[in-house]
Amino acid sequence: MTWTLGIDTSHHVAVGLANGEEIVAREVVEDTRAHVEQLLPSVLRACATAGIGLTDVEEFVVGMGPGPFTGLRVGVATAWTLAYAAGRTPHGVCSLDVVAREFADLGAPERFVVAADARRRELYWRVYLADGTPEGAPQVSDPTMLPELPVAGAVPEPYRELFELSGPDRLDPGVLAARWRSLEVAGDEPYYLRPADATVPGKPKSALPRLRAR
């Protein structure tokens, strides 16, 4: 069996550990602002629960979003660093696909949507077929723009009454670790879908009065 570590910070900190397709440990910290402080301790706790060391992990997989820039970057950078330090190649998958995979394994409808909080009164979302196959690329939009299909995933409370909610209501990091091989490869570029909130400022304007030439 192969020990696989799954990391996702597209929302909060979520860490899963699997031995082959057997989920062995999960660590979730439901604080969307504690990625830097809580991610590595969560990884170590998961390893301790499984009774292994971090050096025993053979595969590293990470959710590539969509998600807010800062939190998502922490998870991707950590997974990439741990993988390369172990001499392994990291694997990226779409975070929404993980929820879709679990829904499909449980018995999903013919077509459905997985959605997640994108803040700014918007949702990240993607359409799937019953077997968990994505139909189109991940999107970000006003909640009213989602297709009229059953919706799974972590839909924020203010929008829940808009949809026919069905299936898993959050990403399971254990499923990420155990079932990542069945998911579409996401590549090396995270799904930010929007520019970062923090940007490089332009050239500062002088506060000194301009002198006119005589």
Q: Determine if the pTM surpasses 0.95.
A: no
pLDDT of residue 212: 52
In the chain the domains, ranked by start, together with CATH numbers, are: 3-95+172-182 (3.30.420.40), 108-162 (3.30.420)
Instruction: Give a three-class secondary structure readout of the chain.
Output: CCEEEEEECCCCEEEEEEECCEEEEEEEECCCCCHHHHHHHHHHHHHHHHCCCHHHCCEEEEECCCCCHHHHHHHHHHHHHHHHHCCCCCEEECHHHHHHHHHHHHCCCCEEEEEEECCCCCEEEEEEECCCCEEEEEEEECHHHCCCCCEECCCCHHHHHHCCECCCCCCCHHHHHHHHHHCCECCCCCCCCCCCCCCCCCCCCCCCCCCCCC
pLDDT in tens, 67-109: 999 999 999 999 999 999 999 999 999 999 999 999 999 999 9
Average pLDDT, the chain: 92
Q: With bands split at pLDDT 50, 70 and 90, how would you rate the model's confidence at 204?
A: low
Percentage of residues in the chain having pLDDT higher than 70: 91
pLDDT of residue 199: 45
